[in-house]
Structure 1
Amino acid sequence: MKTDLQKVRNIGISAHIDSGKTTLTERILFYTDRIHAIHDVKGKDGVGATMDSMELEKERGITIASAATYCEWKGHEINIIDTPGHVDFTIEVERSLRVLDGAILVLCSVSGVQSQSITVDAQMKRYKVPCIAFVNKCDRSGANPFRVIGQLNEKLGHNAVAMQLPIGLEDNHNGVVDLLNMKAYYFDGDNGETIRVEEIPAELVDEAQAKREELIDQASLFSEALTDAILEEAEITEEMIVEAVRVGTIKRQITPVFMGSAYKNKAVQPLLDAVTRYLPTPDDIHNEALDLDAEEAPVVLEGDKNKPTVALAFKLEDGQYGQLTYIRVYQGSLKKGDTVNNSKNGRKIKVGRLVRMHASEMEDITEVSAGYIGALFGVDCASGDTFVDPAINYSMMSMFVPEPVISLSITPKDNKAQINMSKALNRFTKEDPTFRSFIDDETNETIIEGMGELHLEVYVERMKREYNAEVETGKPRVAYRETITQRAEFDYTHKKQTGGSGQFGKVMGFIEPLEDELFSFESKVVGGRIPTQFIPSCEKGFNSCMAKGPKLEFPVTGVAVTLVDGGFHAVDSSEMAFQAAARGAFKQAYERAKPVIQEPIMKVEIETPNEFQGPCMGLINQRRGIILGSQDEGTMSRIEAHVPLAEMFGFSTVLRSSTQGKAQYTMEFSSYKTVPASVSEDIEKTVREERAAK
C-alpha cells in the first residue's frame, strides 16, 4: 500500500439486478492487470466471474455477497466493492456504501432507471456518496443512453450530464466520442485492450459540439475560472472542465455520465480515467464519529495516519481460517500487533493477521492506513462495531438495517443436522443483520426471517452445502389467537374425594370480552365466601387457561374474569383445589361466550411504477386485503393496505412477476382481527387433521 491519499479511490459498483456490475468489475480487473483472462458471469466456461467466488453465485449468475478487491490504474490505487443488485441482499449494498467514498451507478441503456436503481440511489443519498454513472449495454437492441440520462434527471433528481457520445448503437456500437478533447475512441484487439484515437466521424461532429456546450454550461456553475473563460470567449482547456466537474460531482450536484458496453469490452478504460479524475479521495470526504465520553458529540475524523486510530468493521465472513472482519480505517492506522478497543463493549483486541482482499483470495500486509480497506482475522465482533485507539472512545454512526419481511419454518432431518443447523444459524445471524432466527413458543418450530424468499432460499442452500445440515422448510404456521365475543356466566364446583382429605372449591362469576388487553381478573367476593388466601389461586387457575384455548388450542386473548361468589370446605379446600375449580369454570363459560379465531393483519406498503398500479391493487384484493389509499409520487405510486399475514406468503414472487420486477413492498404487524367464517372453518379443519395425524 502506498500512503498518498490523493492517489487512492474507494469505490463501489452498484445498480439494479442484471445491469452488468460484475461484468464491468471483471473488465476493470483485466485492464488493470489484476487478472489475465476474462470469464463470464454465468460461468459457462466452468470458471465464473472473479468477484462471484461462491458456488451458488456461479450457478445462479447473480451476486449474493459483496466482494472487495483492489487494482492500480495510471498510478492510482482503486479499492472496489462489487455489490449485489437483488433487493433481498440490500444490506450488502447498505454496508458497502457506508464505507465507500464514491460509486459507479451502472444503468442498462435499454431498461434505464429501474426499481433497484431507485433503492441504490436512496442508499447513496443516505450516506452522501458522490457517483458517476455508466450507461452499460449500448450494444443491445433498443439501446438509448440519452433516454437514460433523461430518466436520471426525472426519476432520481440528478443533474446528469453526458461526458461522451456513443459511436453507433446496438449492433453498430463501435466506440465513444470524448466530449473533453473531442476525439473518437475505438477499442480493438480480442478484449478491447488496444485503444485507437481518431478524429470524430463527420456525421457526429455537430451533435458532439452541441453536447460539449451543454457540458461546459453545467460545469461552469462549479468554477469561476470556467465562467470567466466563457464570458471572455477565451480558450476553454480540458483541465478547467475536469476541475469543475470534479467539484460538482463531490458535492453531489452533478452526475457525469459515461457509456459503453462492458460485455463487448467497449469504453471501460475511459471510465477508469473518470474514477481517478472525478471521484473523491478519502480526504475529500467529511467523516464524523461520536465521542462517547462527551455525550456523543460529533468529532471530525482526519485521514492522518499519526492520529489515534478509528476503524469500522462493516462486514463479517466466516473464512477457512476463522472469522474474517472487513474494516475501513478512517483515522490513524492499524498495524499487526496493535491493541485496539471495541467501543461497543469496551473489549481489548489484539490485531493478529491483516490482509488485503481480492475476491476470495488474500494477501498478507503489515498495516492498513487511514483511507484504506482491509480485513482482520480472529477478531470476535459484530457488523458495525468501531475499533479505536485505547486513548479515545469514539463510535462511528451505525448503518440503517431494514426489518425482515418474510419468515419460514425449518426442521432438521436428524440429530446431526440439528447440531450443524445451530452452527449455521449462529454464523449467518452474526454475518447478516437482516437475517434472524428464533424458536416460536407457540409452535416450537425454528423460524428464520429475512428480506425475501430468495434471501432465505440462499441461506437454506448454504446450510446444506457449507454445513452439511439437511433441513426441511415449511410454510410457517401463522400465529392465530382465540377470543370471546359475549359475556358468559360460570358456576362450577370442584369436588374430589379420595382416601383422607379431599379437594373442594366452588367459584361463581362471569367472563366478558376485554379490549386492548390480554387478561384481567377482579374479585367481588364478600363475606368470606372464598377465604382471601385462595383468591390468588383462582386468578392463577384462570390465567393458566389463556396459554391454550379450549376451541383450537391457540392462545386466548382479551378476556376479563370477574369472581362474584363461591364456597369452601374447612378441611378439603386448598390452593390446588381452587386452581382446578377456576380451570373448570373457564372451560364451562368459554363455550357459552361464542369464541372466535383472530388472525394477524399486516400493514403492507407497495411501491410501484404508475403503469402497474392497477395490477398491484388487484393482487391485494385477491388476498382479502383492504386498500387504505394510494398516492402518486412522480413516476412511482405508493399503495397502503391491510392484508392478513396468512395471505402474504409467496407475495414477493407474484408481485415481481406482475410488475416486471419493478415493484417492491414492505410489511409490518398492525393488529389482530376476527377471521371470516369461511376461513375459520378451513383453519378448524386443518387443525383437526394435524391433531389426527399426530
Structure 2
Amino acid sequence: MKQYEANRILNIALAGHSGAGKTSLTEAMLYLSGATDRLGKVDDGTTVSDFDPEEIRRKTSVMAATAPLEWKNYKINLLDAPGLFDFAGGLCEAVRAADSVLITVSGKDGVNVGTEKAVAAAEKRGLSKIFFVNGLCEESADFYKVFENLKASFGPSVCPVVVPYIRDGKANIYVNVLEYKAYEYRDGKAVNVKMPDMGTRLDGLRTAIYEAVAETSDEMFEKYFSGEQFTPEEVIVGISKGVKAGTVSPVFCGDAMLLNGIDQLLDGLTWLAPTAADKSSEIGEDENGNPVELSADPNAPAAALVFKTVADPFIGKLSYLKVFSGKVSADTQLVNMRTGETERIGKTVVMRGKKQIDVPYIGAGDIGVVPKLQSAKTGDTLCSSARKVKLEGVDYPNPNLSMAVLPKKKGEEDKVSQGIARLEEEDPTIHFRTNSETHQMILSGLGEQHLDVITAKLKKKFGVEVVLEKPRVAYRETIRKKVQMQGKYKKQTGGHGQYGDVWIEFEPCDSETLEFSERVVGGAVPKNFFPAVEKGLRESVQCGPLAGYPVVGLRATLYDGSYHPVDSSEMSFKVAANLAYKAAMPQASPVLLEPIGHLKCTVPGANMGDVMGEINKRRGRVLGMEPVDKGNQVIEAEVPEAEMHDFSTFLRQTTQGRGDFTFEFVRYEEAPQQVAQKVIEEAKARQESEE
C-alpha cells in the first residue's frame, strides 16, 4: 500500500445503532474502492471487518476493526465499531483514533439509542459528524422521515447533501443537492441523469442547507436571518468549513448492499471530512505535566498511542497505533511512557480486517500495527526519547455486571485466570479479581452478551470451559449484647499436658476489626500469654456463629483466668480463647450485617418513575433526585449490594440503553430477619455440600 502524507489521510470511525449496517457499509466502500475483490456479507460471515469467530457466529461486530482503502488519491482508514452496547469498548477505541465519525442510520428505524450514543461519543472528543442513511432499497425505508428525525434530534446543523428521488416506490436515483446533479444506480454503477422534478421538497432541502450554513459563523447567521441569499460559493465553503469544524453534520444516503450512493459518500468524505493534518493539534503532557502540542509533522520526534490490542495465542500480540507525530518504522526504539522502558519496533504493518499488509513505516496522522510489543498495553504512549510526551489514553466505560466464574473441570482455576488476563489485554472493559472473602473468581463486563463472548473466547482460544453463577455477597456478623465467658483447655498426655484457662468479656463496639484489651490482675494469666489469646481471637473472628462470615464491631477483654507452671503454653491459651469465643457468640445476640452501597443512576426523565419503583422494590432508600442535561435525571439512593446483581440488565431494558449508573460500597447494616434467615440457610447448605 502506498504511503500518504497527513493531509491525504482520513481516519473515520463507523458508529451507530446495532443493525444499521456499519459493517455492510465498510464492505461496500472497500469493494467499490478496489481494496477487496468481492462484496462480503454479514449473514455469510464473509466480511473483512467481522473476522473473529464470535462475530461470524453471532452475525454482529464485537470489537473494533481497521480497514484502510484508497480513493481518489486519499487514504481512508475505516474503523468499524460495534453497535451493541455490550461492546462499547470498541466504539471508545475507534473514536480515540478517528478524526471524524460516520454515523450509520437505518432508513427504516431512524434515530435510535445507538445513534444518540455515537453522536455523544463524537461530541465528547470534538470530532466531526457525518450521517449516512442506509438501506433505502428496503421496504418501509423512508429517508425524508429519517432526515426530519435527525434534524429534530440533533438540530439545524444537520445538512442534506445526497438525497433520494423516489420513483415507483424505489430509491434508485440519488440527487446531490449541493452540486445539483442526479445519478441513477444500475447494478451498483452510477449513471448521470437529468435532474428530476422534486417540487417543493427541493425548497425544503435548500432551507435545511441554509440553516446549517447559518450555524457556521455569526456573520452567516446574521445574513441568513436578515433575509439575504447565500451565494453558491458561500454555501459550498460554509459547509466544507462547518464539517471540518464540527458545526455542520452532512447527511448522505444509499444502500450498502446494492452499492447505491457509496461512490458519492466516498467523494463527499474526501471533500468534507477533516484530514489527519486538519485534526493534528493533539495536546499531550511532558514529564512535568506541562502541555505539549503535537502536529502531524513526519519529521518531528515520533509520538504514538496504542489505542487497541489484540492478544491472540496463534498470531501473537498486535498493538494498534495512531501516530500523532513523526514516523514509526522497523528497528526504531520508542519509550513507553507508562513503564519508562524502551520498546523496539520489529516491523510495521497495516491491518485490513485480519489481513496484515507490510509497510515501511507508519507516518504522522496514520494508523498501523506493530506486532510483538511485549509490555505495551492499550492506552500507552510510545514516543521518541528526544521528546517525551504522554498522550491521553482510551476512556472506557466501567463494567457493571459481575458473575462468579467456575471452571467445569476442577483444578483449572489457574488456566481460567491466565486466559482472562490475556483477554483483558485486548478488552480493558473486562475486570477480573478473586474475592478474598468468598474465594470466588469474579468476572465483570458490560452486559450478558459481553460475558457470554468472554466465556466463548476462553473455550476457543485457551481451551478452558467455565460456568457463570451469581456471585456471593461478602456479609459480616456482629453482636448486640455484652457477655462474659470462660474458655478452658485441659488435656493430659504421657509427657507434658496442655492447660489454658481464660475469662473474656465480649461486647459490641464501633470498629471494623477486633479490638483486644486486657485487665488481668494478680498475674492470673501471665503477660507472655496475652499475644496468644489475642491471636486465637483474631483467627476465631474470621468465622461468625450465624453463617461463617467475619465478625466485626467486637471488643474482647481478657480479665481473668489461670495457668499451670508446666503444662501452659501459647497453643493452650490460643485454643482456650477460641473456646471462649465459640461459647460466647451464640449468647451475645449475633446479627447478620449486609453491605450497603451508594447508587447514582442517570436516567431519562420519562423512565424516572419506573426506576425509582424498582429501587424501592430492591429495598433501596432514595436519597434525592436532580435534573441534568438533555432531560435526564440523576437518582441517588442507598441499596443493599445483594439486590444489585442484575440491576444493569433491568436499567438497560427499561431505558433502552440510555441509562447508566455507578455503585460504591458505603457501610454495613443489619440485615432484615427474613434476609438473614435465607443467607444462613444457604451458608449451611453450602457447608454441607462441601463436606
| Aligned partner of 2:300 among 300, 307, 315 | 307
Distance in 1, Cα, partners of 2:110 & 2:665: 34
Alignment of 1:463-474 (within 5 A): 463-474=458-469
Whether 2:446 is the aligned partner of 1:451: answer yes
Provide Cα deviations, 1:356-384, integer angstroms capped at 9, x if missing partner: 11001111111111110000111111111
Distance in 2, Cα, partners of 1:609 & 1:113: 16
Distance in 1, Cα, partners of 2:561 & 2:316: 66
Deviation at 1:583, TM superposition (A): 1.5
Whether 2:68 is the aligned partner of 1:73: answer no
User: Secondary structure at 2:390's aligned position in 1?
Assistant: strand
Structure 1 runs not aligned, ≥5 long: none
Alignment of 1:241-320 (within 5 A): 241-285=235-279, 286-292=281-287, 295-319=288-312, 320=314
CA 366–89 in structure 1, closer or farther in 2 if over 3 Å, else same:
same
| Aligned partner of 2:160 among 162, 168, 171 | 162
Please provide the CA RMSD for this pair: 3.0
Deviation at 1:305, TM superposition (A): 1.1
- Greater displacement, 473-482 / 217-226: 217-226
Provide Cα deviations, 1:189-222, integer angstroms capped at 9, x if missing partner: 1xx2324343132xx2332133223423431453
CA 664–343 in structure 1, closer or farther in 2 if over 3 Å, else same:
closer
Would the aligned equivalents of 1:483 and 1:598 in 2 still touch at CA under 8 Å?
yes
User: Secondary structure at 1:222's aligned position in 2?
Assistant: coil
Deviation at 1:14, TM superposition (A): 0.9
CA 171–631 in structure 1, closer or farther in 2 if over 3 Å, else same:
farther
- Greater displacement, 259-268 / 226-235: 226-235
Provide Cα deviations, 1:123-153, integer angstroms capped at 9, x if missing partner: 3233222221223344556655556556556
Distance in 2, Cα, partners of 1:542 & 1:17: 57
Q: What is the aligned partner in structure 2 of residue 484 from structure 1?
A: 479
Q: What is the aligned partner in structure 1 of residue 22 from structure 2?
A: 21
| Aligned partner of 1:383 among 378, 387, 392 | 378
Q: What is the aligned partner in structure 2 of residue 119 from structure 1?
A: 117
Distance in 2, Cα, partners of 1:490 & 1:156: 72
Query: Which residue identity is paired with 1:403?
Result: N
CA 117–221 in structure 1, closer or farther in 2 if over 3 Å, else same:
closer
Would the aligned equivalents of 1:597 and 1:674 in 2 still touch at CA under 8 Å?
yes
Would the aligned equivalents of 1:138 and 1:169 in 2 still touch at CA under 8 Å?
no
Runs of 4+ off more than 6 Å: 223-235
Alignment of 1:74-223 (within 5 A): 74-139=72-137, 143=141, 145=143, 148=146, 152=150, 155=153, 159-168=157-166, 171-189=169-187, 192-201=188-197, 204-222=198-216
How many residues were matched structurally? Answer: 684
Q: What is the aligned partner in structure 1 of residue 13 from structure 2?
A: 12
User: Secondary structure at 1:184's aligned position in 2?
Assistant: strand
User: Secondary structure at 1:299's aligned position in 2?
Assistant: strand
User: Secondary structure at 2:277's aligned position in 1?
Assistant: helix
| Aligned partner of 1:685 among 672, 681, 684 | 681
CA 103–660 in structure 1, closer or farther in 2 if over 3 Å, else same:
closer
Whether 2:311 is the aligned partner of 1:345: answer no
Alignment of 1:512-523 (within 5 A): 512-515=507-510, 517-523=512-518
Distance in 2, Cα, partners of 1:351 & 1:662: 42
Deviation at 1:232, TM superposition (A): 11
User: Secondary structure at 1:394's aligned position in 2?
Assistant: coil
Query: Which residue identity is paired with 1:135?
Result: V
Distance in 1, Cα, partners of 2:526 & 2:231: 100
- Greater displacement, 332-341 / 472-481: 472-481
CA 428–275 in structure 1, closer or farther in 2 if over 3 Å, else same:
same
Query: Which residue identity is paired with 1:39?
Result: G
Would the aligned equivalents of 1:182 and 1:208 in 2 still touch at CA under 8 Å?
no
Would the aligned equivalents of 1:143 and 1:169 in 2 still touch at CA under 8 Å?
no
Whether 2:437 is the aligned partner of 1:442: answer yes
- Greater displacement, 179-188 / 81-90: 179-188
Distance in 2, Cα, partners of 1:518 & 1:693: 30
CA 638–119 in structure 1, closer or farther in 2 if over 3 Å, else same:
farther
Query: Which residue identity is paired with 1:675?
Result: A
Alignment of 1:579-598 (within 5 A): 579-598=574-593
Would the aligned equivalents of 1:333 and 1:368 in 2 still touch at CA under 8 Å?
yes
Distance in 2, Cα, partners of 1:616 & 1:168: 43
User: Secondary structure at 2:468's aligned position in 1?
Assistant: strand
- Greater displacement, 358-367 / 605-614: 605-614
Would the aligned equivalents of 1:501 and 1:572 in 2 still touch at CA under 8 Å?
yes
Would the aligned equivalents of 2:401 and 2:646 in 1 still touch at CA under 8 Å?
no
CA 390–437 in structure 1, closer or farther in 2 if over 3 Å, else same:
same
Distance in 2, Cα, partners of 1:688 & 1:228: 76
Provide Cα deviations, 1:261-282, integer angstroms capped at 9, x if missing partner: 3345332322222221222111
Deviation at 1:654, TM superposition (A): 4.4
User: Secondary structure at 1:457's aligned position in 2?
Assistant: helix
Query: Which residue identity is paired with 2:310?
Result: E
Distance in 2, Cα, partners of 1:17 & 1:664: 18
| Aligned partner of 2:407 among 399, 408, 412 | 412
Query: Which residue identity is paired with 1:317?
Result: V
| Aligned partner of 1:461 among 456, 461, 464 | 456
Distance in 1, Cα, partners of 2:578 & 2:471: 30
Would the aligned equivalents of 1:141 and 1:170 in 2 still touch at CA under 8 Å?
no
Distance in 2, Cα, partners of 1:494 & 1:419: 41
- Greater displacement, 222-231 / 605-614: 222-231
User: Secondary structure at 1:383's aligned position in 2?
Assistant: coil
Q: What is the aligned partner in structure 2 of residue 535 from structure 1?
A: 530
Query: Which residue identity is paired with 1:6?
Result: N
User: Secondary structure at 1:304's aligned position in 2?
Assistant: coil
CA 602–273 in structure 1, closer or farther in 2 if over 3 Å, else same:
farther
CA 538–639 in structure 1, closer or farther in 2 if over 3 Å, else same:
same
Deviation at 1:236, TM superposition (A): 2.1
Provide Cα deviations, 1:621-671, integer angstroms capped at 9, x if missing partner: 443334444455544444444433333344444444455555454434343
Would the aligned equivalents of 1:152 and 1:158 in 2 still touch at CA under 8 Å?
no
User: Secondary structure at 1:681's aligned position in 2?
Assistant: helix
Distance in 2, Cα, partners of 1:347 & 1:41: 42
Deviation at 1:422, TM superposition (A): 4.2
- Greater displacement, 217-226 / 30-39: 217-226
- Greater displacement, 474-483 / 72-81: 474-483
CA 324–588 in structure 1, closer or farther in 2 if over 3 Å, else same:
same
Percent of aligned pairs sharing the same letter:
31
Would the aligned equivalents of 1:188 and 1:196 in 2 still touch at CA under 8 Å?
no
CA 641–227 in structure 1, closer or farther in 2 if over 3 Å, else same:
closer
| Aligned partner of 1:553 among 536, 548, 562 | 548
Query: Which residue identity is paired with 2:539?
Result: S
CA 157–603 in structure 1, closer or farther in 2 if over 3 Å, else same:
farther
Whether 2:352 is the aligned partner of 1:358: answer yes
Structure 2 runs not aligned, ≥5 long: none
Would the aligned equivalents of 1:313 and 1:328 in 2 still touch at CA under 8 Å?
yes
Would the aligned equivalents of 1:42 and 1:59 in 2 still touch at CA under 8 Å?
no
CA 369–3 in structure 1, closer or farther in 2 if over 3 Å, else same:
same
Alignment of 1:485-634 (within 5 A): 485-515=480-510, 517-633=512-628, 634=630
Deviation at 1:398, TM superposition (A): 2.2
Q: TM-score, normalised by structure 1?
A: 0.90
Deviation at 1:331, TM superposition (A): 0.6
Q: TM-score, normalised by structure 2?
A: 0.91
Would the aligned equivalents of 1:155 and 1:635 in 2 still touch at CA under 8 Å?
no
